[in-house]
Amino acid sequence: MGVTIKDVAKKAGISPTTVSLVLNNKSNARISEKTRQLVTNAASELNYIPNSAAVSLVTQKTRTIGLLLPDDNSYHFASLIHSIEKACKKAGYFLMIGSVGLEVEDELNYIINFINRGMAGIIFDPSLYPKKLSQKYYELIAAKDIPIIPLGSINSNIVANSILPDFRQGGYLAASHLIELGHKRIGFFTTGSQFNASSAIADGFKSALEEWDISFDIDLVYEGMMDTDSGYKCLEKLMKQNITAIFSSSDIAAYGMYRYAREHHIHIPTDLSIVGFSNMTVSDSLDVPLTSVSFHIDRIARKSVNLLKKISEDKEQALPEIITPDLILRESTCKIDY
């Protein structure tokens, strides 16, 4: 349970009614400035988070679900928002979206204000936060004692109520496909091991190499942002390493690789095989449709909203559910002839 008005009252040494009047800013109440200061100080020391909507999950008077995402402009999150909004409408909920960056103190205050809206629950995607930061944000939300559905691991740990893609299996599928086609010098684009999802994808990639007795070569790895410019720069560097294939842990970065290949007369897939990750709609519409790992955003969205609804009714925690990804084969990969 989080800190309550009774806890603040006990700390301040005054009645819960008085605390409630102060915290709800009842200016017409006859309360001295000294008493108001006592309440404010006690609430601050206890990290009390008020619920401005004053709505209980028991009464189910709120029909709003909050979606908390990294402050990122990637198409992946646009797809996730669309899918969750569609699932919310079907389940009879409204959706409120919050985007949170990496400035810890400012963002902690933002989260407090966000969850202070009397929500039925929060869906939280920690996949592109640094591991320790994702844990800090998760703990703050969990302290509010409302249902929370994480769409990824928290500091590499899978917690209750999670609905998450098997990112590790996704990396394994991509690498295994390229190896089975005969590729041995495989480039790898990653957004960095400090992120929950990227770390798991890299583990899967390395696992496939190890299974086929192929050494992991750090010189064939490029770390960048989830954007086309990073993909372009990645291929500019790794083509000098004589790679014959590349796995991009982002479809968006893969689009930048396509641009580099086109400008430098590199033919996909005969000169270079490419596998992406997240299976965006655009990937099927490229001149050479992109082979990509799908982790089923629509399915994750539907399950997360339905689980929130169930938890709000039953008040019981659920076991984590892992969503198995699939490799969607298209024309961007082919066998290699040595």
- The pLDDT tens digits for 78-133 are 788 888 999 998 888 889 888 887 677 767 788 888 887 778 889 998 887 777 88
Residue 25: the pLDDT is 60
Q: Kindly tell me if the per-residue pLDDT of 30 is higher than 80.
A: no
Distance CA 302, CA 94 (A): 14
Q: Kindly tell me if the per-residue pLDDT of 1 is higher than 60.
A: no
Q: 216 vs 188, 194, 221, 260, CA distance in Å?
A: 10, 19, 9, 25
Give the burial class of 6: count Cβ atoms within 10 A of its Cβ; 0-12 exposed, 13-18 middle, 19 or more buried.
exposed
Residue 140: the pLDDT is 85
Range in 82-96, 249-263, 319-333 with the lowest mean pLDDT: 82-96
Residue 62: the pLDDT is 65
Distance CA 116, CA 119 (A): 8
Helix (H, G, I), strand (E, B) or coil at 323: strand
Q: How is residue 206 written in tokens?
A: 């390395």
Share of the chain above pLDDT 70, in %: 91
Which residue would you say has higher pLDDT here, 305 or 313? 305
Of 213, 217, 220, nearest in space to 179 by CA: 213
Residue 259: the pLDDT is 97
Residue 270: the pLDDT is 96
- Beta bridge partners of residue 190, listed in sequence order: 223
Distance CA 115, CA 117 (A): 5
Cα 129 to its chain centre, rounded Å, is 7
Range in 12-16, 244-248, 304-308 with the lowest mean pLDDT: 12-16
Which residue would you say has higher pLDDT here, 104 or 170? 170
Distance CA 248, CA 276 (A): 5
Which residue would you say has higher pLDDT here, 257 or 14? 257
Q: Kindly tell me if the per-residue pLDDT of 52 is higher than 50.
A: no
For residue range 171-218, what is the model confidence (pLDDT) as tens digits? Answer: 999 999 999 999 999 999 998 776 778 889 999 999 999 999 999 999
Distance CA 334, CA 149 (A): 39
Of 48, 7, 9, nearest in space to 143 by CA: 48
Q: How is residue 334 written in tokens?
A: 């082919």
Residue 29: the pLDDT is 58
Helix (H) or strand (E) holding 99: strand 94-100
For residue range 216-243, what is the model confidence (pLDDT) as tens digits? Answer: 999 999 999 888 999 999 999 999 999 9
Of 70, 26, 315, nearest in space to 196 by CA: 70
Helix (H) or strand (E) holding 321: strand 321-323
Question: How many secondary structure helices (H) and strands (E) does the chain include?
Answer: 11, 12
Q: 136 vs 126, 133, 282, CA distance in Å?
A: 10, 5, 35
Residue 338: the pLDDT is 64
Please check whether residue 291 is in contact with residue 263, taking contact to mean a CB–CB distance below 8 angstroms. Answer: no
Q: What is the mean pLDDT of the chain?
A: 86
Distance CA 262, CA 256 (A): 10
Q: Kindly tell me if the per-residue pLDDT of 61 is higher than 50.
A: no
Q: Kindly tell me if the per-residue pLDDT of 37 is higher than 90.
A: no
Q: Kindly tell me if the per-residue pLDDT of 333 is higher than 90.
A: yes
Question: What one-character-per-residue DSSP string does 260-314 give?
Answer: HHHHTTPPTTTT-EEEEES--GGGGSSSSPPEEEE--HHHHHHHHHHHHHHHHHH
Q: Tell me if the pTM is above 0.85.
A: no
